[in-house]
């Protein structure tokens, strides 16, 4: 039996039946039959795998589970086909997740692309990734003409195919999750804009139990537009890692050059003002004493950022502000930052929507993890300024 650990993408043309049967032979399956759409989770449908350890590992981070079915027929692979005559605007998004070992097997979105008319996707029960289908934003539902398939082994013929020397586990069916994927974090709104408010009164103490919040409105809309436009000329440097890719710019040296726009010079000067440390300390309840980082970040289509669990090496607490200047396309981006705990995988991640002129305030300690999701191929750039402040003492001790 062939073991295939990645999703297969095939264009069978007008030979769908023969292609399905050819795959049956490759998989050493005894039969193939039509299937109902995959289990739905908050309007996202699972293609496969349905019984592998990968599935339970990834679903637990979203507080989702699959119930065990009484059907003990061993399933080998799952597939979905979109007829070639279907409207591509109605095509669902194919989202492929993979567990990231560096962050306790937290799900990593490695691919997100529309299903193409005429395309057949197959996911085996050996697959190391989890494949989900998200309905098109045009229809908000899966196309009516999608065809789902399952390859299986007929146990009455005693062709019970083993996985790693063990029988196939029984098939699961979905149940209503206790917690949903959408778990929005707290939001604070300040008027006038927070950076222009000399003595803002809003506060939100950051603690290990409440490690983040979103602050709305840092600049006036006119100042934000000018700053965003000026950052297009920044001397960006490309950074590519295993779990992330983005452009960065060290704003302090750039602000000291003759070619730097004046709006950037003025903003960097303000962000370096010692008064900002006081405002951050009063806002978060953390006695910050120094600013360690002031960089620009740009994520282009296809980029994503997943630092994983990234505690300070010196053991000290820090506060980070992810100030979002520009989001790729707000209507299609319901969340922009996800904050989780590697030590508490059973707790749902906290998510924050994409909002220009907002800042995520995050406590960086021994158990901290955040993610910026994949920027779609048809979107614009995501621009932000990241500031990191070091705390005087560790308030958790």
For 81-97, write each residue's pLDDT tens digit: 999 988 888 889 998 98
Q: Which residues of the chain have pLDDT under 50?
A: 155-180, 395-397
For residue 242, what pLDDT is reported? 64
pTM score above 0.75: no
Residue 159 exposure: Cα atoms within 13 Å on the Cβ side: 13
The number of angstroms, rounded, from the C-alpha of 160 to the middle of its chain's C-alpha atoms is 37
Q: What is residue 69's predicted lDDT score, i.e. its pLDDT?
A: 54
**Cβ within 8 Å of residue 162, ≥6 positions away:** 168
Q: What is the pLDDT, as a whole number, of residue 397?
A: 41
Q: Which of 2, 43, 281 is nearest to 142 (CA)?
A: 43
Given this model, what pLDDT does residue 154 score? 65
Tell me what pLDDT residue 307 has.
67
Q: What is the pLDDT of residue 180?
A: 41
For residue 361, the model assigns a pLDDT of 93
pLDDT tens, residue by residue, 219-230: 999 999 999 999
Crossing angle for the helix pair 221-230 and 262-271, to the nearest 10 degrees: 110
Per-residue confidence (pLDDT) for residue 58, from 0 to 100: 80
pLDDT at position 238 is 87
Locate 203 and state its tokens. Answer: 């506060």
| Cβ partners under 8 Å of residue 105, min gap 6 | 57, 58, 61, 99, 345
Q: What is the pLDDT of residue 51?
A: 79
Q: How many residues does the chain have?
A: 397
């Amino acid at each position: 039996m062939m073991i295939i650990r990645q999703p297969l993408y095939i264009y069978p043309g007008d030979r769908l039946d023969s292609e399905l049967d050819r795959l049956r032979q490759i998989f050493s399956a005894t039969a193939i039959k039509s299937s109902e759409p995959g289990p739905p989770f908050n309007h996202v449908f699972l293609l496969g795998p349905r019984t592998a350890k990968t599935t339970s590992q990834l679903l637990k981070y979203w507080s989702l589970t699959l119930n065990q079915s009484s059907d003990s027929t061993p399933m080998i692979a799952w597939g979905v086909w979109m007829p070639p005559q279907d409207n591509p605007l109605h095509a669902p998004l194919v989202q492929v997740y993979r567990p990231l070992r560096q962050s306790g097997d937290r799900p990593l979105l490695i691919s997100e692309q529309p299903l193409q008319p005429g395309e057949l996707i197959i996911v085996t029960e050996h697959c190391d990734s989890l494949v989900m289908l998200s309905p098109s934003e045009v229809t908000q539902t899966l196309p009516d003409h999608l065809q789902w398939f399952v390859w299986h082994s007929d146990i009455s013929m005693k062709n019970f195919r083993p996985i790693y020397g063990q029988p196939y586990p029984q098939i699961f069916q979905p149940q209503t999750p206790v917690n949903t994927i959408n778990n929005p974090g707290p939001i604070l709104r300040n008027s006038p804009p927070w950076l222009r408010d000399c003595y803002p009164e809003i506060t939100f103490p950051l603690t290990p139990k409440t490690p983040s919040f979103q602050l709305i409105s840092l600049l006036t809309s006119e100042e934000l537009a000018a700053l965003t436009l000026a950052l297009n000329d920044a001397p960006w440097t490309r950074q590519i890692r295993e779990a992330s890719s983005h452009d960065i710019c060290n704003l302090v040296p750039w602000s000291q050059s003759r070619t730097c726009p004046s709006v950037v010079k003025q903003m960097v000067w303000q962000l370096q003002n010692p008064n900002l440390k006081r405002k951050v300390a009063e806002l978060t309840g953390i006695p910050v004493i120094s600013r360690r980082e002031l960089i620009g970040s740009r994520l282009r289509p296809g980029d994503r950022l997943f630092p994983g669990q990234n505690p300070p090496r010196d053991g000290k607490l820090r506060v980070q502000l992810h100030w979002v200047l520009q989001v790729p396309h707000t209507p299609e981006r319901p969340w922009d930052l996800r904050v989780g705990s590697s030590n508490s995988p059973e707790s749902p991640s906290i998510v924050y929507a994409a909002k220009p002129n907002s800042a995520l305030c995050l406590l960086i300690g021994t158990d901290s993890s955040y993610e910026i999701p994949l920027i779609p191929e048809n979107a614009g750039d995501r621009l932000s300024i990241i500031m990191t402040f070091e705390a005087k003492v560790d308030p958790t001790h």
